[in-house]
Structure 1
Amino acid sequence: MGLFDKIRSKITSSDGKAELPSATFATRPDVVYAPVSGMLVSLKEVKDEVLPVALLGDGYGILPTTNNGVVYAPVDGVIGATTMTNHSIVIAAEGGMEVLIHIGIGTVNMGGKGFSRCVETGDTVRAGQPIMTFNDDSIKQAGYEDVVCCTISNPDAFSQIDHVGDTSTLLDGRPLVKIGDPLLVARRA
Protein backbone atom coordinates (compact mmCIF):
# COMPACT_ATOMS: atom_id res chain seq x y z
CA MET A 1 0.00 0.00 0.00
CA GLY A 2 1.50 3.33 -1.11
CA LEU A 3 1.25 6.66 0.68
CA PHE A 4 -1.65 7.86 -1.49
CA ASP A 5 -3.62 4.68 -0.71
CA LYS A 6 -2.99 5.15 3.03
CA ILE A 7 -4.27 8.73 2.88
CA ARG A 8 -7.30 7.73 0.81
CA SER A 9 -8.19 4.95 3.29
CA LYS A 10 -8.23 7.51 6.11
CA ILE A 11 -10.84 9.70 4.37
CA THR A 12 -12.98 7.03 2.69
CA SER A 13 -15.56 4.93 4.49
CA SER A 14 -16.04 1.21 3.90
CA ASP A 15 -18.84 1.97 1.40
CA GLY A 16 -16.46 4.08 -0.73
CA LYS A 17 -17.91 7.50 0.14
CA ALA A 18 -15.56 10.28 1.13
CA GLU A 19 -15.59 11.05 4.84
CA LEU A 20 -14.98 14.64 5.84
CA PRO A 21 -12.22 15.00 8.42
CA SER A 22 -12.96 17.05 11.52
CA ALA A 23 -11.08 20.21 12.37
CA THR A 24 -9.52 20.28 15.82
CA PHE A 25 -9.09 23.36 17.97
CA ALA A 26 -9.38 24.32 21.63
CA THR A 27 -12.85 25.50 22.65
CA ARG A 28 -14.70 27.31 25.41
CA PRO A 29 -18.48 27.04 25.94
CA ASP A 30 -19.04 30.83 25.70
CA VAL A 31 -17.23 31.25 22.35
CA VAL A 32 -18.46 30.80 18.78
CA TYR A 33 -15.72 29.77 16.35
CA ALA A 34 -15.41 30.30 12.59
CA PRO A 35 -17.23 27.49 10.71
CA VAL A 36 -15.40 28.26 7.44
CA SER A 37 -12.25 30.10 6.40
CA GLY A 38 -12.67 33.45 4.69
CA MET A 39 -13.00 37.22 4.90
CA LEU A 40 -15.18 38.68 7.66
CA VAL A 41 -18.00 41.04 6.76
CA SER A 42 -20.43 42.88 8.97
CA LEU A 43 -24.00 41.60 8.97
CA LYS A 44 -24.99 45.13 7.92
CA GLU A 45 -23.18 44.44 4.65
CA VAL A 46 -25.13 41.23 4.03
CA LYS A 47 -27.95 42.13 1.66
CA ASP A 48 -30.77 39.64 1.90
CA GLU A 49 -34.16 40.83 0.66
CA VAL A 50 -35.87 37.67 1.90
CA LEU A 51 -34.46 37.38 5.42
CA PRO A 52 -33.93 40.69 7.24
CA VAL A 53 -30.50 40.74 8.86
CA ALA A 54 -32.03 41.54 12.26
CA LEU A 55 -33.67 38.09 12.28
CA LEU A 56 -30.29 36.37 11.93
CA GLY A 57 -29.11 37.55 15.35
CA ASP A 58 -25.70 38.95 16.20
CA GLY A 59 -22.58 37.78 14.42
CA TYR A 60 -20.62 37.91 11.19
CA GLY A 61 -20.78 37.01 7.55
CA ILE A 62 -17.79 35.16 6.12
CA LEU A 63 -16.94 35.26 2.42
CA PRO A 64 -15.31 31.86 1.83
CA THR A 65 -11.76 32.04 0.46
CA THR A 66 -11.30 28.32 -0.08
CA ASN A 67 -13.49 26.22 -2.28
CA ASN A 68 -13.68 23.09 -0.13
CA GLY A 69 -17.34 23.78 0.69
CA VAL A 70 -17.32 22.22 4.16
CA VAL A 71 -19.02 23.95 7.10
CA TYR A 72 -17.82 22.91 10.55
CA ALA A 73 -19.71 23.14 13.84
CA PRO A 74 -18.71 26.43 15.50
CA VAL A 75 -19.71 25.19 18.99
CA ASP A 76 -20.41 22.01 20.94
CA GLY A 77 -24.14 21.34 21.12
CA VAL A 78 -27.21 19.65 19.72
CA ILE A 79 -28.62 20.23 16.25
CA GLY A 80 -31.81 22.14 16.99
CA ALA A 81 -33.15 22.66 13.49
CA THR A 82 -32.25 22.01 9.89
CA THR A 83 -33.85 23.13 6.65
CA MET A 84 -35.16 20.91 3.87
CA THR A 85 -32.94 22.82 1.46
CA ASN A 86 -29.84 22.13 3.62
CA HIS A 87 -28.62 25.73 3.43
CA SER A 88 -28.99 26.58 7.14
CA ILE A 89 -28.82 24.92 10.51
CA VAL A 90 -29.24 25.87 14.18
CA ILE A 91 -27.15 24.44 17.01
CA ALA A 92 -28.33 24.65 20.61
CA ALA A 93 -25.03 25.10 22.43
CA GLU A 94 -24.20 24.47 26.04
CA GLY A 95 -25.23 27.38 28.24
CA GLY A 96 -28.33 28.28 26.22
CA MET A 97 -26.66 29.85 23.19
CA GLU A 98 -28.38 29.23 19.84
CA VAL A 99 -26.04 29.44 16.86
CA LEU A 100 -27.37 29.84 13.32
CA ILE A 101 -25.29 29.07 10.25
CA HIS A 102 -26.85 30.24 6.99
CA ILE A 103 -25.12 29.64 3.65
CA GLY A 104 -25.64 32.19 0.90
CA ILE A 105 -28.07 34.95 0.15
CA GLY A 106 -31.24 33.87 -1.63
CA THR A 107 -30.00 30.28 -1.77
CA VAL A 108 -33.31 28.97 -0.42
CA ASN A 109 -34.47 29.43 -4.02
CA MET A 110 -31.99 26.75 -5.14
CA GLY A 111 -34.23 24.10 -3.56
CA GLY A 112 -31.29 22.30 -1.95
CA LYS A 113 -29.26 21.89 -5.16
CA GLY A 114 -25.57 22.11 -4.25
CA PHE A 115 -26.12 21.62 -0.50
CA SER A 116 -25.95 18.58 1.74
CA ARG A 117 -26.23 17.98 5.45
CA CYS A 118 -23.92 15.73 7.48
CA VAL A 119 -26.11 15.79 10.62
CA GLU A 120 -29.78 15.58 11.56
CA THR A 121 -31.97 17.35 14.10
CA GLY A 122 -31.19 16.00 17.58
CA ASP A 123 -27.62 14.94 16.77
CA THR A 124 -24.92 15.95 19.25
CA VAL A 125 -21.99 17.72 17.59
CA ARG A 126 -18.54 18.84 18.69
CA ALA A 127 -16.91 22.06 17.54
CA GLY A 128 -14.92 21.28 14.40
CA GLN A 129 -17.19 18.46 13.23
CA PRO A 130 -18.40 18.73 9.60
CA ILE A 131 -22.12 19.59 9.61
CA MET A 132 -22.91 20.77 6.05
CA THR A 133 -21.37 21.03 2.62
CA PHE A 134 -22.06 23.40 -0.23
CA ASN A 135 -20.95 23.75 -3.82
CA ASP A 136 -19.64 27.28 -4.20
CA ASP A 137 -19.73 27.08 -8.01
CA SER A 138 -23.42 26.07 -7.97
CA ILE A 139 -24.27 29.05 -5.77
CA LYS A 140 -22.43 31.48 -8.04
CA GLN A 141 -23.82 29.93 -11.24
CA ALA A 142 -27.33 30.37 -9.81
CA GLY A 143 -26.54 34.07 -9.35
CA TYR A 144 -26.43 34.15 -5.55
CA GLU A 145 -23.87 35.36 -3.02
CA ASP A 146 -21.97 32.66 -1.14
CA VAL A 147 -21.55 34.47 2.20
CA VAL A 148 -21.77 32.15 5.22
CA CYS A 149 -23.49 33.88 8.14
CA CYS A 150 -22.64 32.66 11.63
CA THR A 151 -24.70 34.28 14.37
CA ILE A 152 -25.98 33.91 17.90
CA SER A 153 -29.68 33.86 17.05
CA ASN A 154 -30.85 34.56 20.62
CA PRO A 155 -28.67 37.59 21.53
CA ASP A 156 -31.25 38.88 24.06
CA ALA A 157 -30.35 35.94 26.33
CA PHE A 158 -26.94 37.54 26.94
CA SER A 159 -25.88 40.83 28.50
CA GLN A 160 -23.11 41.31 25.96
CA ILE A 161 -21.79 39.71 22.78
CA ASP A 162 -18.20 40.63 21.97
CA HIS A 163 -17.07 40.51 18.35
CA VAL A 164 -13.54 39.12 18.54
CA GLY A 165 -13.10 37.93 14.95
CA ASP A 166 -10.86 40.76 13.82
CA THR A 167 -7.36 39.59 12.97
CA SER A 168 -4.23 41.36 11.84
CA THR A 169 -4.23 39.40 8.57
CA LEU A 170 -6.16 41.32 5.92
CA LEU A 171 -7.30 40.64 2.37
CA ASP A 172 -8.75 43.59 0.46
CA GLY A 173 -8.88 45.43 3.79
CA ARG A 174 -11.03 42.74 5.46
CA PRO A 175 -9.92 40.50 8.33
CA LEU A 176 -9.24 36.89 7.41
CA VAL A 177 -10.31 34.03 9.66
CA LYS A 178 -9.65 30.33 9.45
CA ILE A 179 -11.77 27.47 10.70
CA GLY A 180 -11.67 27.46 14.51
CA ASP A 181 -10.72 31.12 15.00
CA PRO A 182 -12.83 32.79 17.75
CA LEU A 183 -15.62 35.01 16.36
CA LEU A 184 -18.01 35.81 19.20
CA VAL A 185 -17.94 35.67 22.99
CA ALA A 186 -21.33 35.59 24.74
CA ARG A 187 -21.42 37.04 28.25
CA ARG A 188 -24.21 36.74 30.78
CA ALA A 189 -25.01 39.39 33.36
Structure 2
Amino acid sequence: MFDFFKKKKTPGLIIGSPVKGKTVPLSSVNDPTFSEGMLGKGAAILPSEGKIYAPADGTIETLFDTLHAFSLSTADGVEILVHVGLDTVKMDGDGFTGHVHSGDAVKKGDLVLEVDLDKVKAAGYDTSTLVVICNTDDYGDVRGLDNKEVQPGDDVIVITK
Protein backbone atom coordinates (compact mmCIF):
# COMPACT_ATOMS: atom_id res chain seq x y z
CA MET A 1 0.00 0.00 0.00
CA PHE A 2 2.83 2.41 0.79
CA ASP A 3 5.09 1.20 -2.02
CA PHE A 4 4.87 4.58 -3.74
CA PHE A 5 6.94 6.04 -0.88
CA LYS A 6 9.77 3.62 -1.57
CA LYS A 7 12.45 4.62 -4.02
CA LYS A 8 12.34 2.57 -7.15
CA LYS A 9 15.53 0.61 -7.60
CA THR A 10 17.26 1.16 -10.88
CA PRO A 11 18.55 -2.17 -12.11
CA GLY A 12 21.78 -0.59 -13.30
CA LEU A 13 23.37 -1.34 -16.63
CA ILE A 14 22.84 -4.70 -18.28
CA ILE A 15 25.34 -6.31 -20.65
CA GLY A 16 24.12 -9.07 -22.93
CA SER A 17 25.69 -12.34 -23.94
CA PRO A 18 27.71 -12.14 -27.14
CA VAL A 19 27.14 -15.82 -27.90
CA LYS A 20 24.79 -18.76 -27.40
CA GLY A 21 25.96 -21.09 -24.63
CA LYS A 22 26.15 -21.58 -20.87
CA THR A 23 27.50 -19.02 -18.43
CA VAL A 24 30.08 -20.04 -15.84
CA PRO A 25 31.85 -17.98 -13.19
CA LEU A 26 34.74 -15.96 -14.62
CA SER A 27 36.76 -17.23 -11.64
CA SER A 28 36.50 -20.79 -13.03
CA VAL A 29 38.31 -19.96 -16.29
CA ASN A 30 41.73 -21.59 -16.69
CA ASP A 31 43.62 -18.31 -17.20
CA PRO A 32 44.69 -16.20 -14.20
CA THR A 33 44.48 -12.94 -16.16
CA PHE A 34 40.73 -13.47 -16.38
CA SER A 35 39.96 -15.72 -13.40
CA GLU A 36 41.70 -13.42 -10.91
CA GLY A 37 40.02 -10.33 -12.35
CA MET A 38 43.22 -8.61 -13.50
CA LEU A 39 41.37 -7.08 -16.46
CA GLY A 40 38.10 -6.60 -14.55
CA LYS A 41 35.00 -8.51 -13.51
CA GLY A 42 32.57 -10.13 -15.89
CA ALA A 43 31.26 -13.43 -17.16
CA ALA A 44 32.43 -16.44 -19.12
CA ILE A 45 30.30 -18.33 -21.61
CA LEU A 46 30.94 -21.84 -22.89
CA PRO A 47 29.79 -21.28 -26.47
CA SER A 48 27.63 -23.69 -28.41
CA GLU A 49 27.78 -21.63 -31.63
CA GLY A 50 30.53 -19.66 -33.33
CA LYS A 51 28.68 -16.40 -34.00
CA ILE A 52 29.80 -13.57 -31.72
CA TYR A 53 27.52 -10.54 -31.38
CA ALA A 54 27.82 -7.09 -29.82
CA PRO A 55 26.81 -7.37 -26.13
CA ALA A 56 25.64 -3.73 -26.02
CA ASP A 57 25.19 -0.64 -28.19
CA GLY A 58 28.47 1.18 -28.64
CA THR A 59 31.60 1.73 -30.66
CA ILE A 60 34.15 -0.93 -31.54
CA GLU A 61 37.30 0.59 -30.05
CA THR A 62 39.65 -2.21 -31.09
CA LEU A 63 39.20 -5.26 -33.24
CA PHE A 64 42.40 -7.23 -32.71
CA ASP A 65 44.25 -8.16 -35.92
CA THR A 66 44.03 -11.81 -34.89
CA LEU A 67 40.23 -11.45 -34.62
CA HIS A 68 40.16 -13.35 -31.32
CA ALA A 69 38.93 -10.33 -29.32
CA PHE A 70 37.40 -6.88 -29.52
CA SER A 71 36.75 -3.98 -27.19
CA LEU A 72 33.59 -1.91 -27.15
CA SER A 73 32.70 1.34 -25.39
CA THR A 74 29.08 2.21 -24.63
CA ALA A 75 27.53 5.68 -24.46
CA ASP A 76 27.33 5.15 -20.67
CA GLY A 77 31.11 4.77 -20.56
CA VAL A 78 31.25 1.00 -20.00
CA GLU A 79 34.45 -0.48 -21.44
CA ILE A 80 33.81 -4.07 -22.53
CA LEU A 81 36.31 -6.66 -23.71
CA VAL A 82 34.99 -9.74 -25.51
CA HIS A 83 37.69 -12.40 -25.76
CA VAL A 84 36.96 -15.59 -27.72
CA GLY A 85 38.84 -18.58 -26.34
CA LEU A 86 41.98 -18.85 -24.25
CA ASP A 87 45.34 -18.36 -25.96
CA THR A 88 43.54 -18.17 -29.31
CA VAL A 89 45.71 -15.17 -30.18
CA LYS A 90 48.24 -17.87 -31.16
CA MET A 91 45.92 -18.97 -33.98
CA ASP A 92 46.76 -15.68 -35.73
CA GLY A 93 43.21 -15.28 -37.05
CA ASP A 94 42.94 -18.78 -38.53
CA GLY A 95 39.32 -19.87 -38.07
CA PHE A 96 38.09 -16.33 -37.28
CA THR A 97 36.14 -13.97 -39.54
CA GLY A 98 35.54 -10.32 -38.68
CA HIS A 99 32.39 -8.45 -39.68
CA VAL A 100 33.22 -5.01 -38.24
CA HIS A 101 36.19 -2.66 -38.02
CA SER A 102 37.67 -0.52 -35.27
CA GLY A 103 35.62 2.67 -35.03
CA ASP A 104 32.36 1.09 -36.22
CA ALA A 105 29.16 1.86 -34.31
CA VAL A 106 27.26 -1.30 -33.39
CA LYS A 107 23.92 -2.12 -31.85
CA LYS A 108 23.42 -4.88 -29.33
CA GLY A 109 22.99 -8.08 -31.33
CA ASP A 110 24.99 -7.01 -34.41
CA LEU A 111 27.25 -9.79 -35.72
CA VAL A 112 30.87 -8.89 -34.91
CA LEU A 113 32.84 -12.12 -35.42
CA GLU A 114 32.47 -15.70 -36.50
CA VAL A 115 34.72 -18.43 -35.17
CA ASP A 116 35.10 -22.04 -36.20
CA LEU A 117 34.81 -23.62 -32.73
CA ASP A 118 35.84 -27.04 -34.06
CA LYS A 119 39.04 -25.54 -35.47
CA VAL A 120 39.80 -23.86 -32.13
CA LYS A 121 39.26 -27.15 -30.28
CA ALA A 122 41.32 -29.10 -32.83
CA ALA A 123 44.18 -26.64 -32.27
CA GLY A 124 44.00 -27.51 -28.56
CA TYR A 125 42.50 -24.27 -27.26
CA ASP A 126 39.68 -23.65 -24.80
CA THR A 127 36.67 -21.97 -26.48
CA SER A 128 35.45 -20.11 -23.36
CA THR A 129 34.24 -16.67 -24.42
CA LEU A 130 34.90 -13.96 -21.86
CA VAL A 131 33.04 -10.70 -21.36
CA VAL A 132 34.98 -8.39 -19.07
CA ILE A 133 34.19 -4.88 -17.86
CA CYS A 134 37.64 -3.31 -18.07
CA ASN A 135 36.68 -0.24 -16.02
CA THR A 136 35.15 -2.28 -13.18
CA ASP A 137 36.59 0.15 -10.60
CA ASP A 138 34.30 2.91 -11.96
CA TYR A 139 31.24 1.05 -10.65
CA GLY A 140 29.80 0.02 -7.31
CA ASP A 141 29.41 -3.58 -8.44
CA VAL A 142 29.89 -5.71 -11.53
CA ARG A 143 28.25 -9.11 -11.29
CA GLY A 144 28.27 -11.95 -13.80
CA LEU A 145 25.14 -14.09 -13.95
CA ASP A 146 26.45 -17.64 -13.72
CA ASN A 147 25.19 -21.11 -14.53
CA LYS A 148 22.46 -20.38 -17.01
CA GLU A 149 21.81 -21.18 -20.64
CA VAL A 150 21.87 -18.00 -22.73
CA GLN A 151 21.03 -16.82 -26.19
CA PRO A 152 22.86 -13.88 -27.74
CA GLY A 153 21.61 -10.72 -26.03
CA ASP A 154 20.41 -12.41 -22.82
CA ASP A 155 21.56 -10.69 -19.62
CA VAL A 156 24.99 -11.92 -18.44
CA ILE A 157 26.40 -8.95 -16.50
CA VAL A 158 24.66 -6.48 -14.18
CA ILE A 159 26.52 -3.26 -13.40
CA THR A 160 25.52 -1.10 -10.45
CA LYS A 161 26.67 2.49 -10.45
* Range of TM-score over shorter length: 0.7 to 0.9
- Does 2:97 match 1:97? no
Contact 1:29 1:75 in 2 (8 A): no
TM-superposed deviation, 1:162: 3.4
The corresponding residue for 1:62 is 45
Contact 2:68 2:83 in 1 (8 A): yes
TM-superposed deviation, 1:58: 0.9
Q: 1:158 to 1:29 in 2, by over 3 A?
A: closer
Amino acid at match of 2:151: K
Amino acid at match of 1:107: T
Contact 2:26 2:34 in 1 (8 A): no
The corresponding residue for 1:112 is 93
Write out aligned runs for 1:1-189 (5 A). 30-48=13-31, 51-53=33-35, 54-65=37-48, 67=49, 69-163=50-144, 165-166=145-146, 174-188=147-161
Contact 2:41 2:143 in 1 (8 A): no
TM-superposed deviation, 1:98: 0.5
CA distance in 2, matches of 1:186, 1:94: 14
Contact 1:77 1:92 in 2 (8 A): yes
Q: Which runs of 4+ in 1 moved over 3 A?
A: none
Between the aligned residues of both structures, percent identity stands at 34
Amino acid at match of 2:112: I
User: What is the number of residues matched between the two proteins?
Assistant: 150
**TM-score, with structure 1 as normaliser:** 0.74
Amino acid at match of 1:136: L
Q: 1:161 to 1:52 in 2, by over 3 A?
A: closer
Task: Return 5+ residue gaps in structure 2 as ranges.
Answer: 1-10
Q: 1:82 to 1:34 in 2, by over 3 A?
A: same
TM-superposed deviation, 1:119: 0.8
RMSD of aligned residue pairs (Cα, Å): 1.7
Higher-RCO chain (CA-CA 8 Å, sequence separation at least 6): 2
CA distance in 2, matches of 1:94, 1:152: 14
Q: 1:80 to 1:118 in 2, by over 3 A?
A: same
TM-superposed deviation, 1:56: 3.2
TM-superposed deviation, 1:30: 1.8
CA distance in 1, matches of 2:109, 2:34: 28
